[in-house]
């Protein structure tokens, strides 16, 4: 919940539709890129071919990207994007995380609940309709609510009128433009192939975001539909989906300087903060998040260390949280290295002086000060909101919150509900209440909930949530710690939220019925959820103010710096272009753009995460490389670097040559450039890609996945 609040708070608005090379370009604005420039770099496709053909093979997997690579709905993506499906189907007896997985027939493919594949069919500009609902007499809160209400109407109308369409309206340039995305959402996704973790995540958290990498970060999924070709939930009667477009995989040699373009769904960037905003983010928000991540990871690892079954249960969240933790560590390091706070504050002061000297700029005088004033208000409550939101990592607590909120929301007409609880989202919520059982550990839940309540006890009394005070009272943190532990222990002795069938039973109850249920953990979570909603509603006025003020902030920064503007990432389909190239992370150091299998063997320690599979070592020693050996690199290529501008959500994005053939899958950025989500440094920003030749080498020589290889269209 907090993430959504903060995304709204830091919305960036641009006005001049001129793009910098580092931009992530929406497909409806490709004509703003100099086509001749890309053609000289190596692009052999027209923009229409990219929009109408290539992009239709690229899908959003909900937090990651994939692409169709066969006429039978085969999807290639990252191992870490498919990791949840791998973990869901694993057990101590059949540990597909460690062993890998390969289904050599449709019947052996495993369900991946919670996954979906969105194909963008059409993009419609609905800006005029939404802005027709706004007027200058509105308060900031009324403005925010009017936009949200109209978006809900557009999405519901679209889905009602057009069969099998998932609609989403997204703000571009922070509210200058609103686009309706019509998507074909495939609901039945299955796991087809995953290499063992010793290949798919070689180097683990140690190598994460680092270069050189030797990571075979790829997996395959498959999309299924009903016999009539319509989206449908998982069923044994479903059949593979037949996409109109799918991508070929290249086995051609690559070299430094080769052109590469990437299509994917980058999540979020925010490169136009004020100096005060970036200061708060760097010195208050990030340290709190890092502490929470560290502590949660430690609790999970301790629990997972008790036996193999528990280790499988915590595997997904440990991996995900470690990734997020290192992301924030990289952002922190990069912003400090580049002295971004100092640069932005200096810029803001110079802008103020510049405005004073130019009467034509009077309209911008209060823009940055007003934005800073909003930032101070948000900063005062951010710590409390962050802890409240992150407490939903506790599965049973989050389930109780969802059940309670649904009991309230279901009484309202669909268009009057919180967007998260509209009818179209209910099947997904119910599915999560079911699938959470797979990795539920009640004892860990209890420890984690106790931990979060202790963090509230650490806060000054006036910053503690009212719900916390209701259940634990007030006092010193030492006094509260003892009461918290005893109270939560009692909650878990008596709760039924740990039972799947009971959760679903609660979910179907009316608010009146649910209030009579004797389950204190349920009511505790419900009360917390209501308070969090109230705090979010109170922030709508600030969010509306941001949408009103931020355009002037961005415009005056643009006028002062004379830099080009482009729309920040917002989880919509984007194109970035660049080339294969290395970089210098520090004085006297130069990183080459390619790694080979030799490097993975050189990292071998015999212990995770640097323990190569014995068969891979054998292939290397016997030089059994087949057609995958690169004479120029003198080895089997593994990963390579490009200077494409990418971020979270791009994971699994196809990296393509000038003909639109897959030359690799993007899976990471380098540590030195993680902060580019906020301050772009072209000298250091690189994307890390697993080479398509390594993917084919592993499929062929290591896994002997011949049926899968035959399904692919490979070009030499």
What burial letters (b/e) apply to 630-641, b meaning 16+ CB within 10 Å? beebebbbbbbb
Which pair of structure tokens corresponds to residue 292?
A: 């929470």
Cα 259 from Cα 656, distance rounded (Å): 8
Dihedral angle over CA of 99, 234, 77, 653, nearest 10: -160
3-state secondary structure of 169: strand
Cα 201 from Cα 612, distance rounded (Å): 11
Q: Which of 505, 551, 576, 558 is nearest to 266 (CA)?
A: 576
Q: Which of 694, 710, 653, 705 is nearest to 260 (CA)?
A: 653
The DSSP H or E segment spanning 250 is strand 249-250
Q: Is residue 713 a contact partner of residue 645, using CB atoms and an 8 Å limit?
A: no
First to last CA, the chain: 48
Q: Tell me which of 217, 258, 418, 668 is the catalytic residue.
A: 217
Give the Cβ contact number of residue 298 at 10 Å.
Answer: 12
DSSP 661: -
The DSSP H or E segment spanning 616 is helix 614-621
Q: Is residue 70 a contact partner of residue 711, using CB atoms and an 8 Å limit?
A: yes
Q: Tell me which of 168, 395, 571, 651 is the catalytic residue.
A: 651
Q: Is 245 a catalytic residue?
A: no
For the stretch 343-347, contacts whose Cβ atoms lie closer than 8 Å and that sit 24 or more positions apart, written own/partner, are 343/679, 344/273, 344/274, 344/275, 344/278, 345/275, 345/276, 345/279, 346/275, 347/275, 347/557, 347/560, 347/561
> What residues contact residue 600 under an 8 Å CB cut-off, 6+ apart?
202, 214, 612, 616, 638
> What residues contact residue 230 under an 8 Å CB cut-off, 6+ apart?
163, 164
Cα 550 from Cα 140, distance rounded (Å): 13
Positive or negative CA dihedral for 529, 530, 531, 532?
positive
Strand blocks (E) in 570-657: 574-579, 594-596, 637-642, 654-656
Q: Is residue 201 a contact partner of residue 80, using CB atoms and an 8 Å limit?
A: yes
Cα 114 from Cα 293, distance rounded (Å): 24
Q: Is 651 a catalytic residue?
A: yes
The DSSP H or E segment spanning 59 is strand 58-60
Give the Cβ contact number of residue 120 at 10 Å.
Answer: 20
Alpha helices in 109-265 (DSSP H): 127-131, 140-161, 197-200, 204-207
Q: Scan for tokens 């009212």, then name that residue.
A: 466
Q: Is 217 a catalytic residue?
A: yes
Q: Tell me which of 55, 80, 250, 445 is the catalytic residue.
A: 80
Q: How long, in residues, is the chain?
A: 716
Catalytic residues: 80, 217, 651
């Amino acid at each position: 919940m907090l993430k959504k609040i903060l995304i709204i708070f830091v919305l960036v608005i641009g006005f001049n539709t001129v793009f910098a090379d580092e931009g992530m370009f929406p497909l409806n604005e490709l004509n703003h890129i100099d086509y001749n420039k890309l053609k000289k770099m190596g692009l052999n496709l027209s923009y229409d071919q990219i929009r109408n053909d290539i992009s239709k093979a690229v899908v959003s997997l909900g937090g990651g990207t994939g692409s169709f690579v066969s006429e039978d709905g085969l999807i290639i993506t990252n191992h870490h994007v498919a990791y949840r499906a791998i973990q869901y189907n694993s057990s101590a007896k059949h540990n597909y995380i460690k062993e890998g997985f390969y289904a050599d027939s449709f019947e052996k493919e495993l369900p991946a609940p919670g996954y979906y594949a969105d194909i963008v069919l059409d993009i419609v500009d609905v800006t005029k309709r939404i802005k027709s609902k706004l007027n200058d007499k509105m308060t900031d809160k009324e403005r925010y609510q009017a936009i949200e209400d109209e978006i809900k109407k557009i999405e519901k109308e679209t889905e009602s009128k057009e069969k099998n369409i998932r609609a989403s309206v997204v703000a571009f340039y922070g509210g200058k433009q609103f686009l309706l995305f019509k998507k074909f959402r495939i609901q039945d996704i299955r796991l087809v192939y995953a290499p063992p973790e010793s290949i798919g995540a070689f180097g683990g958290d140690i190598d994460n975001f680092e270069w050189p990498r030797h990571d075979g970060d790829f997996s395959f999924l498959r999309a299924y539909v009903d016999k009539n070709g319509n989206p449908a939930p998982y069923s044994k009667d479903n059949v593979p989906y037949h996409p109109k477009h799918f991508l070929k995989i290249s086995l051609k040699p690559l070299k430094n300087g080769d052109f590469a373009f990437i299509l994917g769904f980058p999540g979020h960037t925010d490169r136009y903060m004020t100096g005060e905003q970036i200061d708060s983010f760097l010195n208050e928000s990030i340290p709190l998040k890092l502490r929470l991540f560290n502590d949660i990871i430690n609790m999970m690892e301790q629990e997972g260390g008790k036996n193999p079954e528990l280790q499988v249960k915590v595997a997904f969240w440990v991996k995900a949280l470690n990734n997020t933790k290192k992301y924030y560590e990289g952002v922190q390091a990069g912003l400090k290295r580049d002295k971004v706070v100092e640069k932005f504050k200096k810029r803001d002061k110079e802008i103020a002086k510049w405005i004073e000297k130019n009467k034509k700029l009077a309209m911008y005088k209060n823009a940055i000060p007003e934005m800073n004033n909003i930032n101070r208000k948000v900063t005062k409550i951010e710590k409390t909101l962050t802890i409240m939101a992150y407490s939903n990592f506790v599965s049973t607590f989050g389930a109780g919150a969802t059940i309670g909120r649904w009991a309230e929301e279901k009484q309202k007409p669909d268009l009057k509900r919180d967007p998260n609880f509209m009818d179209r989202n209910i099947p997904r919520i119910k599915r999560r209440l079911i699938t959470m059982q797979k990795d539920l550990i009640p004892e860990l839940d209890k420890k984690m909930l106790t931990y979060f309540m202790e963090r509230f006890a650490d806060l000054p009394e006036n910053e503690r949530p009212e719900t916390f005070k209701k259940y634990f009272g007030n006092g010193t943190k030492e006094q509260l710690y003892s009461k918290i532990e005893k109270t939560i222990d009692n909650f878990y002795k008596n709760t039924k939220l740990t039972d799947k069938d009971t959760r679903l039973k609660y979910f179907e109850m009316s608010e009146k019925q649910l209030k009579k249920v004797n389950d204190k953990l349920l009511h505790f979570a419900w009360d917390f959820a209501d308070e969090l909603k109230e705090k979010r509603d109170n922030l709508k006025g600030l969010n509306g103010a941001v949408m009103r003020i931020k355009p002037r902030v961005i415009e005056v920064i643009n006028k002062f710096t004379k830099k080009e503007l482009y729309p920040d990432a917002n989880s919509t389909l984007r194109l970035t272009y660049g080339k294969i190239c290395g970089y210098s992370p520090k004085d006297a150091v130069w990183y080459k753009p390619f790694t080979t299998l030799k490097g993975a063997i050189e990292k071998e320690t015999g212990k995770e995460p640097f323990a190569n599979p014995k068969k891979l070592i054998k292939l290397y020693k016997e030089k059994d490389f087949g057609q995958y050996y690169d004479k120029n690199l003198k080895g089997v290529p593994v990963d390579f670097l490009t200077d494409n501008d990418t971020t979270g959500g791009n994971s699994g994005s196809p990296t393509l040559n000038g003909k639109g053939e897959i030359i690799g899958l993007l899976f990471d950025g380098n540590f030195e450039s993680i902060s580019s989500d906020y301050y772009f440094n072209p000298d250091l920003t690189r994307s890390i890609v697993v080479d398509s030749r390594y993917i084919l080498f592993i499929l062929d020589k290591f896994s002997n996945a011949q049926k899968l290889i035959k399904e692919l269209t490979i070009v030499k």
